[in-house]
Structure 1
Amino acid sequence: MKILYILSHLSISTVVCCIACFWPMSFLMAQTDVIINEVLFNPVKGGVDFVEIYNRSGHPINLQHWKLGKYPISSEVLLLEAGQYLALTTDPNALYRQYKKGENQCIHAMDRLPAYPNEQGAVTLFSPEGRMDSLYYYAGMHMPLLKNTKGISLERLSPDEPTNSPDNFLSASTWSGGATPGYKNSIQKDILRKKNNFFLTSKTVSPNQDGFEDFLEINYEFSQPDYQMSVSIFAENGRPVNRLIRHQSAGSSGKIIWDCRGENGVVAPNGIYIFLTEIYNGKGDRELYKGAFVIAGAPLSIDK
């Protein structure tokens, strides 16, 4: 038996994840083994719709002769590995251009996709044995604080809860790029914490390009997936240095990386600095966090 896996694109291709092999499928497949995990139905100009599916079983599943709506996903053997995400679209190149790349990203090109209206619609997934999953969506499922939802996908919060349970699909984090086609979602229930938390990877940073602590890393973990976030850097005397993030949806957790440059592009001089974060959501929750850190080892040529 010969198996060929193409799990990432070394060069842009129409099919980023495909398997050319003969695979004896002997697994008994449950209806909830493959689920709808993300959908983009209102792309930006020049963009394309996509539907992401996820294999939540413990074994690979052959997607040959499966369908999105009435359109076939693949006429050839196409294995979806256990725990793997797969984005289905008509133009993978458009997704690569628009969205951030992700670890183990996998995108498959289909000849056609069903029409997914911008206001409301349904996504249906079929195996040769029958319907596997269906999602009924509408534009109002997006987070209310988002002013523009064009190009923002709806991501599944929990793979274990029913697909159409209330609030199981929410807007993808704008800080993550607005969508995560073919890889782990920016919002996930299993990584939500009991309380919100911000912490630094290190309280010292030395932007001298020696490969050690060249960047400030601000880590965050949230108790809810619907927070908006703003992050600013101040000098010790209160002087604004950089407004890193302004009113971005943040997802469940993540990391903010600062290269120690001000908004003028100049590296900040050595000294003590403060990061200030504000998070809030549509329910009226609002919290402020701040912390101190030290820039040491900045290039000596930088004037204070």
Structure 2
Amino acid sequence: MEGIRCSSVLSCYYSSKTHFKLRHQALEHCFLSLPPPPPRHPASRPKVRISLPSMALQVQDQQSFHKSKEMLPKIDKSGRFCSPRAARELALLIVYASCLQGSDPIRLFEKRINAAREPGYEFDKASLLQYNHMSFGGPPVTTHSVEEADELLRSDEQDSAIEAEVLSAPPKLVYSKLLLSFTRKLLVATVDKWDNHVLAIDKVVPSNWKNEPAGRILELSILHLAMSEITVLGTRHPIVINEAVDLAKRFCDGAAPRIINGCLRTFVKDLAGTSTAQTSNSKLEVPLQV
């Protein structure tokens, strides 16, 4: 397959929630601005002190901090991501970018891997410890003051900046060799099965997704990756479905996780039915006697 072709202005399909706008801006920054961004010098970063407006907000922030701390990504001894979640996320963003650019996912992946770093570029590995793979949008938040709303907005902007820095960095600085190998296998499987899974996806997705495929690139990419991991790599489907739903919670709108969950479960049932039918037919076949 020479390339995955799609054209759209994705922002018009996204939720009006600030969380999803920031998520989408981070994604576009990461993959529409290759090669990696120019160097950032620690001395040039402004130091901002934020005073929380109320004790209730302090308690809420402390609870969310401890919760996110428990869900921080796994880092290996070399200081790189070593969690399969990170590999699936990288594969998703590569497929997403290839759809926008009309390019081949594997070639785009290799281009990112082998891209020369700009002179003076330094990656702050401390951002890996702040990056949270399990940061989800959730329902709309009601604030009781302008100060509280501004504080939440600043927090979202900081999270978005961390995501943009991590996801746009050279992959060899962010991901372990094992994860990069797994990502490539997943991309190869996705490309090989793309045409077959286009037909499978067409059977399970709702009609409104079929009518606006250009506005559902992320959702359809998640389905392609999940189906390929199940059918080619042989990962157990409960694991793949849970991972796909979590990716949808991170990068898509509110209804997408539920829809993707249903689509993949239907896909797995169809696979099981096809496999059972093939097994039954093979048992019924009687060898001819000469």
Q: TM-score normalised to the size of structure 2?
A: 0.29
With a CA cutoff of 8 Å and minimum separation of 6, indicate the structure with the bigger relative contact order. 2
TM-score scaled by length of structure 1: 0.28
Please state which structure has a larger fraction of its residues in helix: 2
